[in-house]
Chain A
Amino acid sequence: MDLSNPMREVYWNITGKNLMYVLLVPVLVAFFRGFYSKYRLWKIGRPTRRRDNWRRRLAGFFRGAVVQEKNFRDRYSGWMHFFIWGGMLVLFIGTANVALDEYLGVPTMEGLFYLYFQSLVLDVFGLLAIVGLAMALYRRYVVRPPRLHRTPQDAVFLGLLLLVLVTGFVIEGLRIAVTEDPWAAWSPVGWAFAAAFRATGMAAETMVGLHRFSWWFHLALAFAWIACVPYTKLTHLVTSPANIYMRSLGPKGRLEPINLETAEFLGASNLRHFTWKQLFDLDACTECGRCQDACPAHATLKPLNPKAVVLDLRDYMHEYGPLYLRRAQDDPWAAPAETPDGRPVPVMVGAVIAEDALWSCTTCRACMEACPVEIEHVPAIMDMRRFLAMDQASMPEGMADAIRSLETRGHPFRGTGGARTDWLQGLDVPVLDLSAGGGTRGAAGGAGADGAGPDADFDVLWWVGCAMAFDERNQKVARSLARVLHRAGVRFAILGNREKCTGDAARRIGHEYLFQTLAGENVATLNQALGNGRPRRIVTACPHCYNTLKHEYPDFGGHYDVVHHTEFIRELVDSGRLKLDGEVRETITFHDPCYLGRYNDVYDAPRKTLKDLSGAEVREIERARESSFCCGGGGALVFVEERIGTRINQTRARQAAETGARTVCTACPFCMTMLADGLKTTSGDEVQALDLAELVDRATAPAGPAAVGAGTGASPGDGSR
């Protein structure tokens, strides 16, 4: 043996190694067959484009699948998973290197590469993988966090993998022990195993025999494990990285429109109605349960669990998907009715996924934000809601009332037939007059309000939003914002009664038809109002309006420069047009509205402004920013009586109150409604909910904070929401 050239004999002690390739054949057959049958199931779905823009996809792939940023949000899980998959990957590369050496003559098994990589690195990563597995077993079976469930499958494949790793080291240890490998120290784990074997005083003969047995045993285990991949959740080795690569690149707040004129079905009531990517999502799930932990509905004992939605759909696809592959009956979009042996196929929406689960979703996107493999839960839930809302006309009563009101009155507030301009009584808020004659028109009841035609002198169109215009509490926010805009010298105008609901409520209920009707009307109005002259911006204090105007109206011909009032106020402060001189002696915590934060990444603008308030102390809620906990009002649930479980808004109110802050600042009318209500129940009058505009109103009031404060505080009274 040449001691100047480190190496080891490949396939030492192994005879008939070519049997390995014979055994590999069924393994590969099982592997590819498994994935092929999966592929066939994915193809049941409709087409969608998910392979465009490879540069962005690759960048996201690097962050999501290689660095695995989201995994590391939970440090323990992050390292645990990194040890396992990193170890596996390195060991796989090492094994591949052996083949390169053996068949292509690449000298991977000698020299420094052999010493550093094939011996040392492989040993270390093998050990790390064992550590990772130990961490995994400890967490799943000792710590038992609720987000992880325990199936026999988990135990089998974790155990199998552990055995593969351990037998690997056993083989190495036996080889070292028998061959007295001079470079054994470069394989520290194997060396330790060798020492252990020697210490047993085992005869060399026995060790040679044991080595040979272990080698084949290790091989069989590894092959079995590989063959299992497409049939267990190990599928995620392949599907999760692919899913990250094929993730949605569109604006997070945009739902895919339905062409209602040509649509052959409305929403999703079976597998055919999903896109192939939505079906691919199901097989990409690693069952990690982060979505379950993030979900406000699940946290308040609703029948919705995003993880269960994915897994139940996956199981449905695996069990009944093959039936979809047979030639469909008369209707090419129909689901199979029964199995070949005459059992009925359960209906996907209603039986597999309960309607109550679908209606519990606030569309807050916390699940998707948490998902390390970019599964798109919310669009799938929305597609099933679309089926219920449009095909079945079935929805919770509060939502039905909102739809009825939207149909006839253009706003979702049942029992409110007033004018959109009621709130601006006594304020100087110009209302655009878009009627044929143009000219000026005072707002109904708005004494002294100037009317303004489309050519009028304004830079900013303020989209007020229904909640601000009709809800009494939020009308106060609108009045505050009007004062703030005046103080900053902003030339603005509103649309008055020409404004309709953006349709967010209808769309998130699933009523795409009504949404598109409203969107069409609003786009026509906005294009007329903003059409001629210089570019103008739209400012709105409602994150739902903001999201829809910004991300959803482009699909309907409306392309606008939209800012949320928290961003706009920030700009005004930064540019010196707004001076936050007044004292606001409050301890404040900020509640991130889902459609402002998670959907539109506006986290810092409101926080900066709060920090600029003199006298204010800002505290963060534990669940803030990306992991913010929904107020319970999103997805049109603000209109629904929460009858199951505990109340989301009270849960959030408690979280906010735990910071010790006396003021919960938010920037969304629905959050305001929900939090004000939740705080009243959980904290009495101790903690108030205020909009950022109201705090800024106080900080900019010329008469000092006290004088205006009374007019901007939360509504008094003993409460009756």
Chain B
Amino acid sequence: MPGIVIVATAEGQGTNPAALELLGGGAGLAKALGCPLEAVLVSGSGTDPAGPAAKLFAGGARRVYSVRHERLGNGSPEAALEALTAACRRAEPRVVLFSADRLGLEVAPRLAHRLGGSMITDAVALEVRDGDVVATRPAFGGKAMEQVAARATPQVVTVKLRALEPAALDESRSGELVEVPVDLDPGVDRVKLVERVEEAAEGPKLETARVVIGGGRGVGGAENFKQLEELARVLGAALGASRAAVDEGWVPASWQIGQTGKAIASDLYIAVGISGASQHTAGISGVKTIVAINTDPEAPIFERAHLGVVGDHKAVVPALTARLKELLGK
């Protein structure tokens, strides 16, 4: 019986964390559609799939299709696509859930094409209506939300991280582990890796970061940016600044966000000590959620912010960092 298949990747003896979220969300769909919940486990050749598979069983998967190949460990989407196609041909799923990470972003649409199914990306919520998956996803840079129904099967969906409640693990559960032989088409060699360049700079780039923390004149000095750096480390955020802070020489010019600096499009932007002059806000129109921390309740930044704290950042930011460390278990 065609089921819900979630795509997991092996990480050591477990899986990628998002797999549990997919199992959690997938269980809801399986229940609504009355079909089984299964998983495809992608792993490199050196990995024993039994461990990760056990995690998937514990998370609610009834069957795990394991695809294993040395080419699957190095992030080659061409190889992953071949392997996943093989696995899905075997599983004949009704719904395929990917996490909207690099694997999902790079492979899911092509998989849907190969399987003759439908594709929805970046879902933040899933439901079933009239037997079809209906996903809610942001569009227009988060300025609108759309609800999209899949109308061709298999219904492939990539789901944003943390959109779904992770499945509760029940180690007593077990299931069937099916090894799917992977016979990679020579086509995967059409793209060859020449060199891998590891970025020396720590932290993500401003333009592509999902979380950005920006400091303005109100931060009050170069040394105070250290507090923001600490917060950025906890959140895996990139650091930016308003022109005022750059002007003061507290931070390098490459940090500047705004009309004469960089434009960011992060999911979250925390503006600290930034009043919100249009020079600056010009660069944050693509941000989905803006959080402002400022002593002045009248600061224009609060007109643009979704969440606001009126207070002295010198006290708020370290406390926030500490609290987030606890909550995120870091």
| A residues with CB within 8 A of B | 397-398, 401, 413-417, 470-473, 639-641, 643, 647, 673, 680-681, 715-721
Question: How many angstroms from the CA of A715 to the CA of B277 in the assembled complex?
Answer: 9
CB distance from B299 to the nearest CB of A (A): 4
Segment at the A interface, from B124-132, B148-156, B242-250: B242-250
Which of A398, A473, A717, A721 makes the CB contact (< 8 A) with B298?
Answer: A717
Q: Is the CB of B276 within 8 A of A720?
A: yes
With A716-B299, A718-B296 already in contact, the answer to whether A416 and B216 are too (CB < 8 A) is no
With A415-B285, A416-B278, A681-B247 already in contact, the answer to whether A718 and B273 are too (CB < 8 A) is yes
**In the assembled complex, which residues on chain A have CB atoms less than 8 Å from the CB atom of B243?**
641, 720-721
Known: A413-B278, A681-B247. 10 other contacts (CB 8 A): A414-B259, A415-B281, A472-B300, A639-B260, A681-B244, A716-B298, A718-B218, A720-B217, A720-B244, A720-B274
Q: Is the CB of A719 within 8 A of B278?
A: no
What are 20 residue pairs bridging A and B, where the CB atoms are less than 8 Å apart in the complex?
A398-B259, A398-B260, A401-B259, A401-B260, A414-B282, A415-B283, A640-B260, A715-B275, A716-B296, A716-B299, A717-B276, A717-B298, A718-B273, A718-B275, A719-B218, A720-B218, A720-B245, A720-B276, A720-B301, A721-B277
Shortest Cβ distance from B217 into A: residue: A719
Question: How many angstroms from the CA of A717 to the CA of B303 in the assembled complex?
Answer: 12
CB distance from B272 to the nearest CB of A (A): 10
Asked if B227 is at the interface of the complex by the 8 Å CB criterion, the answer is no
Q: Is the CB of B282 within 8 A of A415?
A: yes
Asked if B134 is at the interface of the complex by the 8 Å CB criterion, the answer is no
With A416-B282, A417-B285, A681-B247 already in contact, the answer to whether A720 and B259 are too (CB < 8 A) is no
Question: How many angstroms from the CA of A681 to the CA of B242 in the assembled complex?
Answer: 14
**In the assembled complex, which residues on chain A have CB atoms less than 8 Å from the CB atom of B244?**
680-681, 719-721
| B residues with CB within 8 A of A | 216-218, 242-245, 247, 253, 256, 258-261, 263, 273-283, 285, 294-296, 298-301
Question: How many angstroms from the CA of A401 to the CA of B260 in the assembled complex?
Answer: 8
**In the assembled complex, which residues on chain A have CB atoms less than 8 Å from the CB atom of B273?**
718
**In the assembled complex, which residues on chain B have CB atoms less than 8 Å from the CB atom of A414?**
259, 263, 282
Q: Is the CB of B278 within 8 A of A718?
A: no
**In the assembled complex, which residues on chain A have CB atoms less than 8 Å from the CB atom of B275?**
715-720
Question: How many angstroms from the CA of A443 to the CA of B48 in the assembled complex?
Answer: 66
Q: Which 10 A-B pairs have the closest CB atoms?
A: A717-B275, A415-B282, A720-B242, A717-B299, A718-B218, A720-B216, A641-B260, A716-B298, A720-B274, A472-B278
Q: Which of A397, A413, A472, A473 has most B Cβ within 10 Å?
A: A472
**In the assembled complex, which residues on chain B have CB atoms less than 8 Å from the CB atom of A413?**
259, 278, 282
**In the assembled complex, which residues on chain B have CB atoms less than 8 Å from the CB atom of A639?**
259-260
Which of A470, A641, A681, A715 makes the CB contact (< 8 A) with B300?
Answer: A715
Question: How many angstroms from the CA of A720 to the CA of B277 in the assembled complex?
Answer: 6
Shortest Cβ distance from A417 into B: residue: B285
Shortest Cβ distance from B248 into A: residue: A681
**In the assembled complex, which residues on chain B have CB atoms less than 8 Å from the CB atom of A397?**
260
CB distance from B294 to the nearest CB of A (A): 7
CB distance from A350 to the nearest CB of B (A): 24
CB distance from B125 to the nearest CB of A (A): 28
Q: Is the CB of A470 within 8 A of B278?
A: yes
Question: How many angstroms from the CA of A680 to the CA of B242 in the assembled complex?
Answer: 14
Question: How many angstroms from the CA of A639 to the CA of B253 in the assembled complex?
Answer: 16
Question: How many angstroms from the CA of A715 to the CA of B247 in the assembled complex?
Answer: 20
CB distance from B247 to the nearest CB of A (A): 7
**In the assembled complex, which residues on chain A have CB atoms less than 8 Å from the CB atom of B296?**
716-718
Question: How many angstroms from the CA of A495 to the CA of B295 in the assembled complex?
Answer: 39
Q: Is the CB of A717 within 8 A of B301?
A: yes
**In the assembled complex, which residues on chain A have CB atoms less than 8 Å from the CB atom of B283?**
415
Question: How many angstroms from the CA of A20 to the CA of B219 in the assembled complex?
Answer: 81
CB distance from B9 to the nearest CB of A (A): 38
CB distance from A330 to the nearest CB of B (A): 42
Q: Is the CB of B253 within 8 A of A643?
A: yes
CB distance from A716 to the nearest CB of B (A): 4
Q: Which of A401, A417, A471, A717 has most B Cβ within 10 Å?
A: A717
**In the assembled complex, which residues on chain A have CB atoms less than 8 Å from the CB atom of B301?**
717, 720
Question: How many angstroms from the CA of A15 to the CA of B279 in the assembled complex?
Answer: 82
Q: Is the CB of A721 within 8 A of B300?
A: no
Shortest Cβ distance from B282 into A: residue: A415
**In the assembled complex, which residues on chain B have CB atoms less than 8 Å from the CB atom of A673?**
279
**In the assembled complex, which residues on chain A have CB atoms less than 8 Å from the CB atom of B256?**
641
Question: How many angstroms from the CA of A641 to the CA of B218 in the assembled complex?
Answer: 20
Q: Is the CB of A718 within 8 A of B285?
A: no
Shortest Cβ distance from A396 into B: residue: B260
Shortest Cβ distance from B242 into A: residue: A720
**In the assembled complex, which residues on chain A have CB atoms less than 8 Å from the CB atom of B259?**
398, 401, 413-415, 639
CB distance from A145 to the nearest CB of B (A): 32
Question: How many angstroms from the CA of A681 to the CA of B249 in the assembled complex?
Answer: 13
Which of A398, A680, A681, A718 makes the CB contact (< 8 A) with B294?
Answer: A718
CB distance from B217 to the nearest CB of A (A): 5
Q: Which of B218, B245, B275, B296 has most A Cβ within 10 Å?
A: B275
CB distance from B156 to the nearest CB of A (A): 33
Question: How many angstroms from the CA of A470 to the CA of B282 in the assembled complex?
Answer: 11
Question: How many angstroms from the CA of A278 to the CA of B216 in the assembled complex?
Answer: 46
Question: How many angstroms from the CA of A115 to the CA of B297 in the assembled complex?
Answer: 86
**In the assembled complex, which residues on chain B have CB atoms less than 8 Å from the CB atom of A716?**
275, 296, 298-299
**In the assembled complex, which residues on chain A have CB atoms less than 8 Å from the CB atom of B260?**
397-398, 401, 639-641
Question: How many angstroms from the CA of A415 to the CA of B284 in the assembled complex?
Answer: 8
Shortest Cβ distance from A414 into B: residue: B259
CB distance from B129 to the nearest CB of A (A): 34
**In the assembled complex, which residues on chain B have CB atoms less than 8 Å from the CB atom of A715?**
275, 277, 300
**In the assembled complex, which residues on chain A have CB atoms less than 8 Å from the CB atom of B279?**
673, 720-721
Shortest Cβ distance from B278 into A: residue: A472
Question: How many angstroms from the CA of A313 to the CA of B3 in the assembled complex?
Answer: 79
CB distance from A505 to the nearest CB of B (A): 13
Which of B278, B282, B285, B300 makes the CB contact (< 8 A) with A717?
Answer: B300
Question: How many angstroms from the CA of A647 to the CA of B253 in the assembled complex?
Answer: 15
**In the assembled complex, which residues on chain B have CB atoms less than 8 Å from the CB atom of A720?**
216-218, 242-245, 274-277, 279-280, 301
Q: Which of B245, B247, B259, B273 has most A Cβ within 10 Å?
A: B259
**In the assembled complex, which residues on chain B have CB atoms less than 8 Å from the CB atom of A640?**
260
Question: How many angstroms from the CA of A413 to the CA of B263 in the assembled complex?
Answer: 13
Question: How many angstroms from the CA of A715 to the CA of B258 in the assembled complex?
Answer: 18
Q: Is the CB of A415 within 8 A of B263?
A: yes
Question: How many angstroms from the CA of A397 to the CA of B285 in the assembled complex?
Answer: 19
Shortest Cβ distance from A716 into B: residue: B298
Shortest Cβ distance from B271 into A: residue: A720
Q: Which of A398, A413, A647, A720 has most B Cβ within 10 Å?
A: A720
CB distance from A315 to the nearest CB of B (A): 35
**In the assembled complex, which residues on chain B have CB atoms less than 8 Å from the CB atom of A717?**
275-277, 294, 296, 298-301
**In the assembled complex, which residues on chain A have CB atoms less than 8 Å from the CB atom of B245?**
720
Q: Is the CB of A471 within 8 A of B278?
A: yes
CB distance from B218 to the nearest CB of A (A): 4
Q: Is the CB of B277 within 8 A of A472?
A: yes
**In the assembled complex, which residues on chain B have CB atoms less than 8 Å from the CB atom of A417?**
285
CB distance from A98 to the nearest CB of B (A): 68
**In the assembled complex, which residues on chain A have CB atoms less than 8 Å from the CB atom of B263?**
414-415
CB distance from B292 to the nearest CB of A (A): 10
**In the assembled complex, which residues on chain A have CB atoms less than 8 Å from the CB atom of B258?**
415
Q: Is the CB of B282 within 8 A of A718?
A: no
**In the assembled complex, which residues on chain B have CB atoms less than 8 Å from the CB atom of A680?**
217, 244
Question: How many angstroms from the CA of A473 to the CA of B283 in the assembled complex?
Answer: 17
**In the assembled complex, which residues on chain B have CB atoms less than 8 Å from the CB atom of A471?**
278
CB distance from A419 to the nearest CB of B (A): 14
Question: How many angstroms from the CA of A567 to the CA of B217 in the assembled complex?
Answer: 37
**In the assembled complex, which residues on chain B have CB atoms less than 8 Å from the CB atom of A641?**
243, 253, 256, 260-261
CB distance from A214 to the nearest CB of B (A): 66
**In the assembled complex, which residues on chain B have CB atoms less than 8 Å from the CB atom of A473?**
277-278
Which of A398, A643, A721 makes the CB contact (< 8 A) with B280?
Answer: A721
Shortest Cβ distance from A641 into B: residue: B260
**In the assembled complex, which residues on chain B have CB atoms less than 8 Å from the CB atom of A719?**
216-218, 244, 275, 277
**In the assembled complex, which residues on chain B have CB atoms less than 8 Å from the CB atom of A415?**
258-259, 263, 281-283, 285
